[in-house]
Each structure stands twice: as C-alpha cells, then as structure tokens.
Chains A and B, each alone.
Chain A
Amino acid sequence: MTVEIEARVAELVKPYAGKRSELIQALHRVQSELGHIPKAAQAVVAEALGVPPSQVTGVVSFYHFFRTAPAGQHTVRLCLGTACHVRGAERVLKAIQEELGVGLGATSADGMFTVEGVRCLGACGLAPVMMVDDEVYGRLDPKRVKRILREVGKDGG
C-alpha cells in the first residue's frame, strides 16, 4: 500500500523536483489526486523537492485545506461565524458530535461524514447554518441537525 502510494506520489511531483518554492503546488497536486496527503506522501514530497520533512509537515498542518486522512463520503461544513455563534453554533456542534462521534476536523468512524468548521457561509439570516456537501441547512437546532445527518447518511454516498 505504502509502496504503491510512494511510487504514485513520486510520479506526481516529478515536475516540481528540486523546486523548493513550489511546495504548496506540489502538495495541491498530491491532494487532488489522492484526496489526502498521508505521511508517506509527505516524505516523498520532501525528498523530491529538497525541503526538510519538518517544513512539509509544517505546511500541511498549517493550512486547513490540506488533509492527512481520507475525507468522508459527505462533508459537513458548520458555520462558526459571528452570527451563527450568537445563534447557537456551539449547540449544533454538540449535536453533531453526539450523532457522529467526532468533532471539527475529523471523520466519523464509518467514513460517512467529515466535519469541518468554516467562517460565515454568507447566510447569516438563517443562522445557525451548516452545509452538507452542496446543500445549505439553516435555522438549525440540535434535533433538526441529528435528523438531517441521519437522512443524508441513510441515502449513502
């Protein structure tokens, strides 16, 4: 498995060989092909570009965009913006945690949902708001959140 990933990543980052300033581009490329950037892939990127491994990990862990584990089938984006905060995003998050067993930045054990926090979805009038994939859900309360997640989960991928 690891060997396979390594070979694939080595191929992907060939155009960036020795180009330290292209680190983010190379990581983007890896993530868009693999869906995430596991440790084995980070090691290959470091080697190919001539960047210290500590700096590759630093960049991957700094940007929320990069992930080190595969994403779930569905992505829940919970708004943590000001309006949603005031209207009870905390309670919504708690409900998500209860329903899926994981909080922000994590993927449920069944691989169904990845939960992310975002800042203002531009739908403050509907606060508190979350998106599940491309669908927006507003005026959430703990009960409704759980119902939505159950329905989406039932429909599968």
Chain B
Amino acid sequence: MITLRIDDIPVQAEPDQTILDAAKAAGIRIPTLCHLPGLSPVGACRLCLVEIRNWNGKLVPACATPVQEGLDVVANSDRLRELRRTILELLFAERNHICAFCVANGHCELQDLAAELGMDHVRFPYRFPPLPLDASHPKFGIDHNRCILCGRCVRACSEVEGAMTWGFAGRGIFTLIEADLGDPWGDAKTCTGCGKCVQACPTGALFEKGRATGEQEKRPAIVAALTERRPRAQG
C-alpha cells in the first residue's frame, strides 16, 4: 500500500494505480476526457492535470501518472480550474462544436465538462475548418467537425474489438480519424460494425444513424464492462 495526499486528504492506493484511480476511490473528482476505463491511458487531452506540491508544483496528467509514496497532490485549485478551462476553450475553438446543431447535444462529455468548469465563452478565435462527414457506413457515421482527437475510438477498436480499423491520419490540427487506408467507413474491410467506437466517443463525432438527437445517448461504460469480463491475456 502506498500513502499519498490528494487535496490534503490522506489516501491509500495500490502501487499499480494512477493518481486518478486513487482520487476516484477517495471520492475526489478530477475531470477527464481522453481517459476511458477499460482502455489504456494516453494522457492526450491534459484535462486531468493535477499539481504535485512536492515536485515544485509540477503539472502531471492524473490518468497516466502512477501513485508514489508521499506525493502531495492538488486536484482542485483556481490555477487548475483556469488551465482546464483554457484546454476546453482550445478544443472548442479548434473545430466546430456548436452544440445546438449537434446530434449529441445533451449527451456530450465535452459539453458537460464546459458546464462543470464554468466555461461560458471562448477567448480564442474559432477556426471552423471545413471538414467532411462520412455517412457511408450503414449503421454509423463520423463527423470530423465534432472530433477532439481523444483517440478513444482508436483504442476501443484496437484494444477491445481487435479490428484496428481506426487510426490517426495526418498530424497536428490536421489529423483525422480514418478507417483502414483512408477508405470511406462503409468500405473499410476490417470494420466489424460492432459500434464500440461509437459508444466510446465522448462527443457527437461518432454517431448512430437513425437516432434523433435526444436518443443519441452513448454508453462508454460498456468498454470497461467488456474488458472486466474478459481479462486480457498475461504478458
């Protein structure tokens, strides 16, 4: 057992747990976005940044940082709130996240986080790049304008389904989630049509066809439910 402090509360954790795990067990809320229980942590979105007092105030992603004996973690502070808000604003400014016109309105983790962190406006100019929407798959669609590149779909597809259909194509702000060789989703030979990516997606980027906005509720928890019931092979 390892003992650390999170927001001045002494917390115990197993050595293989992350700061996020330890905080959760202690009932301390840390916002997350790219993290999804059941998938490997990648530390991509930085929303879960926490401050380590006894590391000179260093900022680390709670989802991808293992606990250590004696860590003095700040999980909630004005500084962190401001940083997390800024990250959200950058995400909103990067593509097109106009909730009123989104299929996921009301069921979107990005929208929920904006509300939670009190992000009432965006201080950066919106980029609004004109990105395509691919509706070639019979059951699902992907609207790149809503994608925040969290990679949850990519990991669900490779780590849980094992199909490896989705990948990151391009780089930086021009990155797009693409199927196989950049094929239309409906033509992707490796796609099994399982829909795990759609359930894992925190925004309206991946959606189910034939469902109205109000019904576009995702079930990201199925990823953890599946992986828990089907423990990965050792090694």
Contact = CB atoms under 8 A, between A and B. Distances in A.
A62 B164 contact: no
A54 B168 CA distance: 8
Interface string B165-190: 11111110000001111100000011
B164 A61 contact: no
Interface residues of B, number: 16
A25 interface: no
Contacts of A43: 181
9 contacts: A52-B158, A52-B164, A52-B167, A54-B164, A54-B169, A54-B181, A54-B190, A56-B181, A57-B181
Interface string B139-169: 0000000000000000000100000111111
A82 interface: no
Contacts, number: 46
Interface string B111-133: 00000000000000000000000
Interface residues of A, number: 13
Interface in A45-70: 46, 52-58, 61-62
Contact of B165 (A39, A54, A56): A54
A54 B166 contact: yes
A42 B178 CA distance: 14
